[in-house]
Chains A and B, each alone.
Chain A
Amino acid sequence: MLRLEARPNPSRTMQALTPVIAVAATMIAGGILFALLGKSPFAAIRMLFWDPVFGEFAFYYRGQILIKAAPLILIALGLSFGFRANIWNIGAEGQFIMGAVVGGATGLALYPYEAFWVFPLMIIMGAIGGMLWGLIPAFLKIKFNANEILVSLMLVYVASNFLAAMVTGPLRSPVGMNFPVSRNFSEYASAANEELIAGTGMHWGVVTAFLAVIVAYIALTRHIAGFQIQVTGQSARAAKFGGINPNLTIALCLGLSGALAGMAGIFEATGPAGKLSTNFPVGYGFTAIIVAFLGRLNPIGVLLAGLLLAITFVGGDVVQTELQVPKASIQVFQGMLLFFLLGSEILVNFRLRLNKKGVA
């Protein structure tokens, strides 16, 4: 039988290297996967990782990478704070949707009024929408000790049905030929989240994500609140002894990650997506969980992991069209990344022992 034995002094270098090892292992296992599908593994890996950044059409793909990375980073930052405190918000996707719905509804209510404050107001309302959605599991956990993993996850499905109800009802575009879509935000100047520099993909959401990385880094390493969140995750009793209110930490972590996910949602709806529709959620909220762990719950790590995942998204599209592989193979590829990450993390902290057969 196999047995795990804790290493007395896990190597710090190896701990830092686990994401790199995981990426390398994913490339190898992914290569085998593509080979089994009858495709050249080398071409597939090149298209996934290299072409989006340095290939012939990189000028287009780079913008796409930023667009896809921004929501991932923004959501993952919020999640990483909660994960550090052992508060498991799995429902960022729902908070992302609710941010888009609340922020979007605010803008649509004001249509066609043009003013500079419309867009900022929509962002704030989006953050509030996401925050309130995140505070539902927080409230139920504080009040009834309900498991936030289950509650936040189930609320994703509530949110996506709510979105569907809205775009087929009150928010349905009057000029949308009865399709379940809202008005197009790009046709409403005050509400549109346009590219700041044409062709770069840089929109306000990307700027916010980068700023959030800096703020989160400072909060985590320099501020007492970041410290207190980490203590809570390490030992709830030590945190209480340190005067940290556990309920406040729960509300803070779920509220904050909800607000960031909500903001990501409204940036997405007003920018790259352009409108609210039943096809709006594409799983950023779930992929962000991988990003948070791949980034070792560290803001800088989250930034890098977000960019890497975005590259695999963009690269995945390339592979899909060029090599004619099913979309699921790309998702398997991303899943492998998390698998290898968690696996190498365990092997860095534990060593594998082979038990002798029979009675020793």
Chain B
Amino acid sequence: MTPLLRISGLTKAYPGVVANDNVSFDIGIGEVHALLGENGAGKSTLVKAIYGLVHPDSGTMELGGNAYDPGEPRNARASGVAMVFQHFSLFEALTVGENIALGMENAPETTALSEKIRTVSANYGLTLDPDRLVGDLSAGERQRVEIVRCLLQEPKLLVMDEPTSVLTPQEVDILFETLRKLKAEGTSILYISHKLEEIRTICDHATILRLGKVVGTCIPSEETPKSMAEMMVGTTLTAPKKGAFQPGPALLEVHNLWLASSDPFGTSLKEITFNLHAGEVLGIGGVAGNGQDELMLALSGEERTQNGTIQFKGENIGHRGPNYRRTQGLLTAPEERLGHAAAPDMSLTENALLTGFGRQKLTTNGFVKWNATKNFARAIVEKFDVRTPSVNNAAKSLSGGNLQKFVIGREIMQNPEVFIVNQPTWGVDAAAAADIRQAILELAHNGAAVLVISQDLDELMEISDTFAVLSEGAMSKVRSAQGVTIEEIGLLMGGTEVSHAPA
């Protein structure tokens, strides 16, 4: 049988890097095909070539036996290739229907379109009301808008880039039902994900990329997540070791914290109360956009809060800024590495100064001790195995994983008493992620209190002593992480999803 899509010898080079090197593989009709690989392995470039966003330097593609060279996304869509991006391109101030109409070549008239949206979404179990404002939708619902937008074109091949990163476990189940239905109808799906367990559940075949080359193929259901991860990185991995948890005194006490989000489409914090103890790793799960960023800003001091809501070692610090908190021993690492945790065009030395100058005493009377700062940056690079030619290199020249190691290392090297980190291993390759988790565990083992906000439940289960969930700006009770099941967490994360809106 001819495959739906055949890629042969596809090569694409960018200045200084070969993103795809002679890549070949087939996707059969009605097959869910996984594309596996670490960050920078060339998955995005490959997918962009298929969707016509990137023109390959050499190599050919065939769609249904005919030569396929889309050139631009419009032609790809016309040929029956649709794509759901990891980052949504939706206008928050417009309705679902308006957003979908904007993405169509010949959008039908509004009521007809609404009717069509309702039919398609009901057919595939993706509840969606075309008249709602996108700004009011959860991340999972926004993804449905993107998916329905694709399904309206009746695609032959649906490309999905990290589709589950914004979903609760229950929403993932619903999505998988949809994918199975599409598959049964003969639609092929190219599925890109880091989550190996999901790939085992849903995918028929997997192609593994490393440094732009195809390094292997497998049938995911016959592999273990560990064996697939090792194929991706090319080495054997060891899981971080976790010691027994003995809670010390409460270092950080958050009591009845309310905070209005400064972002009009953000989530305000509601009545957050918890204690964080020495030696504890508290994992906070939840779907993105449920108040994680706001909680982070409130704890780091970038947003000030009411007096009495945040106490650090018994002292009220709600009205104190980030630098005061740092010198006292409360250190943070925000989610966004480039542009928030680090200034992109500044060198690693300068970025070490950014959060280190107070606690590491890198200035005298305001004058910067550049040699001491450089040594501090070098120490981070050495201790945390940051791959960079020198500490004079700009932050943006580092790969995501290396910069993340630098950002985490910069804070851990300052011996925090309380360390708060958001998405510590987001977009980081497996080997670097394991190093970062190990460093966090060691920090807690040595008596620091650690709060980890993450959307990766496997990660939270691996490193947390205690566990809570953020949902719509409110936090669940903190409970022991031992014995928590994914189903329970899903319900805490707002798993009432199933009966959410009228079908």
Residue of A nearest to B356 (CB): A242
Whether A238 contacts B322 by the Cβ 8 Å rule is no
Q: Which residues of B contact A153 (CB under 8 A)?
A: none
B184 CB → nearest A CB, Å: 36
CA distance A222 to B370 in the complex (A): 8
Q: Contact check, A238 vs B343: say whether CB atoms are below 8 A apart.
A: yes
User: Is residue B73 contacting chain A, with contact meaning CB distance below 8 A?
Assistant: no
With both beta carbons as reference points, the residue of chain A lying nearest to B357 in the complex is identified as A224
Q: Are B366 and A9 in contact (CB under 8 A)?
A: no
B15 touches A241 (CB 8 A): no
Please state if B71 and A231 are interface contacts (CB–CB under 8 Å): no
Contact (A225, B71) CB under 8 Å given A8-B16, A240-B302, A241-B340: no
Q: What are the residues of chain B within 8 A of A231 when measuring CB–CB?
A: 343, 346, 350, 354
- The reply to whether B355 and A242 form a contact with Cβ atoms under 8 Å apart is yes
Which residues of A1-37 are within 8 A (CB) of B? 7-9
Q: Is the CB of B354 within 8 A of A222?
A: no
Binary flags per residue of A223-240, CB closer than 8 Å to B gives 1, else 0? 111010011001101111
Does residue B301 face the partner (Cβ distance < 8 Å to A)? Answer: yes
Could you tell me the distance between the alpha carbons of A222 and B363 in the complex, rounded to whole angstroms? 9
Q: How many A-B residue pairs have CB under 8 A?
A: 72
Interface of B is mostly: loop
The yes or no answer to A170 lying at the interface (CB within 8 A) is no
Tell whether B268 is near chain A: CB-to-CB under 8 Å: no
CB distance from B191 to the nearest CB of A (A): 28
- Closest CB of chain B to A241's CB: distance in Å? 6
Q: Cβ of B266 < 8 Å from any Cβ of A? A: no
**In this assembly, does B445 line the interface, its C-beta being within 8 Å of a C-beta of chain A?**
no
When chains A and B are docked, how far (Å) is the Cα of A237 from the Cα of B342? 9
Q: Are B326's CB and A243's CB within 8 A?
A: yes
**Contact A224–B343 (Cβ < 8 Å):** no
Q: Does A359 contact B (CB under 8 A)?
A: yes
Instruction: Report yes or no: B368 in contact with A227, Cβ–Cβ below 8 A.
Output: yes
Interface size counted on chain B using CB atoms at 8 A:
37
Judging by beta carbons under 8 Å apart, are B343 and A234 in contact? yes
Chain A residues 132-168 with CB under 8 Å of chain B are none
Residues of the A chain whose Cβ atoms lie less than 8 Å from the Cβ of B336? 237
Given the complex of chains A and B, what is the CA–CA distance between A202 and B328 in angstroms?
A: 51
Which residue of B has the minimal Cβ distance to A226? B368
A360 at the interface (CB under 8 A from B): yes
- Inter-chain contact B368/A243, CB cutoff 8 Å: no
B339: A residues at CB distance < 8 A: 235, 237-238
Q: Which residues of B contact A360 (CB under 8 A)?
A: 55, 71
- Cβ of B3 under 8 Å from chain A: no
A237 CA to B358 CA, complexed, in Å: 19
**A245 touches B (CB below 8 Å):** yes
Interface size class of A (residues with CB under 8 A): 20 to 34
Q: Is B439 an interface residue (CB 8 A)?
A: no
Q: How far is the CA of A227 from the CA of B355 in the complex (A)?
A: 12
| B300 interface hit (Cβ, 8 Å) | yes
B323 at the interface (CB under 8 A from A): yes
Please tell me if B458 contacts chain A, counting CB pairs below 8 Å.
no
Q: B198 near A: Cβ within 8 Å?
A: no
Q: Please give, as numbers and ranges, the residues of chain B lying within 8 Å of A242 by CB-CB distance.
A: 322-323, 354-355
Q: How far is the CA of A9 from the CA of B393 in the complex (A)?
A: 11
B16: chain A residues within 8 A (beta carbon) = 8-9
**A9 CB contacts on chain B under 8 angstroms:** 16
| Least CB separation from B358: chain A residue | A243
Return the chain A residue nearest B17 by Cβ: A8
Using an 8 Å CB-CB cutoff, how does the interface string of A186-207 with B read, 1 for contact, 0 for none? 0000000000000000000000
Sample of 15 more A-B contacts, CB < 8 Å, known A224-B368, A242-B354: A7-B15, A8-B16, A222-B368, A222-B370, A223-B368, A230-B346, A231-B354, A234-B346, A235-B344, A238-B342, A238-B343, A241-B354, A243-B358, A359-B71, A360-B55
**Which B residues have a C-beta under 8 Å from some C-beta of A?**
14-16, 55, 71-72, 75, 300-302, 321-324, 326, 332, 334, 336, 339-346, 350, 353-355, 357-358, 363, 366-368, 370
11 contacts between A and B (CB under 8 A): A8-B14, A9-B16, A222-B367, A231-B346, A234-B343, A235-B343, A237-B339, A238-B342, A240-B322, A241-B332, A243-B322
Nearest 5 A/B pairs, CB to CB? A243-B323, A243-B322, A234-B343, A242-B354, A238-B343
